């Protein structure tokens, strides 16, 4: 079982989650003859992806793969790490929300 996913595994799971992919597309993009790059095989063995049993042979994340990807990705800008929601801004003394400095301004 994978405790901490590798960066290549996170990249693979994000790639699968990005948009619908089929088996042929996935194999074209992620097939490797290098024994050290076994992300495809590891994802199948660990139950992180599944291959649909239809004519298109879609490749999708399993609930376990989705959970691993969600844990590995940092919250987007403005989201709390615990809740995944934007923090509530409380009004200051004069009823205005506090100003937020942007890194681009420095």
Per-residue pLDDT of 40-57, as tens digits, reads: 889 999 999 999 998 889
Q: In 3-state terms, what secondary structure has residue 7?
A: helix
Q: How far apart are CA 7 and CA 95, in angstroms?
A: 44
- Enter the pTM of the model: 0.66
Q: DSSP secondary structure string, 23-79?
A: HHHHHHHH--S-TT--HHHHHHHTTSEEE-SSSS-EEEE-HHHHHHHHHHSPPPTT-
Is the pLDDT assigned to residue 21 strictly greater than 80?
Answer: yes
List the domains of the chain with CATH numbers: 7-72 (1.10.10.10)
């Amino acid at each position: 079982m994978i405790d901490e996913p590798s960066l290549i595994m996170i990249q693979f799971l994000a790639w699968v989650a990005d948009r619908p992919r089929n088996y042929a597309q996935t194999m074209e993009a992620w097939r490797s003859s290098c024994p050290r790059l076994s992300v495809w095989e590891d994802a199948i063995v660990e139950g992180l992806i599944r291959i649909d049993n239809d004519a298109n042979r879609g490749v999708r994340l399993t609930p376990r793969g989705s959970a691993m990807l969600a844990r590995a990705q940092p919250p987007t800008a403005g989201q709390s790490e615990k809740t995944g929601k934007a923090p509530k801004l409380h009004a200051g003394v004069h009823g205005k929300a506090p100003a937020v400095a942007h890194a681009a301004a420095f």
